C-alpha cells in the first residue's frame, strides 16, 4: 500500500502518514459485524497532513473504513482505517 492513514475519532481527524495524496470519498463507521454507515467526505489528504472530518463520533467497538480514488491505478478502492489510541 502506498499510503498509511489513521483516524482519531476523539478529535475528528484523519491523518495521512504515507508518501502520496489520498483522494478521500467516504468514511465508513462500522459496528462489530462490519455493517457500515457511509458518510460522504470529499477531501484530498496530502502526505504528512491531518484533516478535520465533517462528522465523527466514537462508540465502543466501532471500526472505521474509507473509500478513496487510487489515482495511480485509476480505481475506486476501500480499506480499513486504524484508530489512533
Label the pairing between strands 22-30 and 13-16: unpaired
Cell (9 digits) for 19 = 508518501
The total domain count for the chain is 1
Q: Supply the pTM of this predicted model.
A: 0.73
Handedness of CA 14, 16, 21, 27 (dihedral sign): negative
Over residues 2-58, the pLDDT tens digits come to 567 888 888 888 899 888 888 999 988 888 777 898 989 888 999 999 988 876 655
CB 21 within 8 A of CB 28: no
Domain carrying residue 44 = 5-81
Supply the CATH number for residue 15's domain: 2.60.40.3970
Among residues 10, 6, 3, the alpha carbon closest in space to that of 58 is found at 10
- Structure confidence at residue 48 (pLDDT): 92
> For residue 83, what is the DSSP state?
B
Amino acid at each position: 500500500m502506498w499510503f498509511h492513514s489513521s483516524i482519531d475519532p476523539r478529535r475528528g481527524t484523519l491523518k495521512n502518514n504515507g508518501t502520496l495524496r489520498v483522494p478521500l470519498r467516504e468514511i465508513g463507521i462500522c459496528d462489530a459485524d462490519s455493517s457500515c454507515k457511509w458518510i460522504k467526505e470529499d477531501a484530498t489528504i496530502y502526505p504528512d497532513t491531518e484533516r478535520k472530518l465533517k462528522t465523527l463520533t466514537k462508540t465502543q467497538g466501532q471500526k472505521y473504513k474509507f473509500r478513496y480514488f487510487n489515482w495511480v491505478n485509476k480505481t475506486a478502492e476501500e480499506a480499513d482505517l486504524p484508530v489512533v489510541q
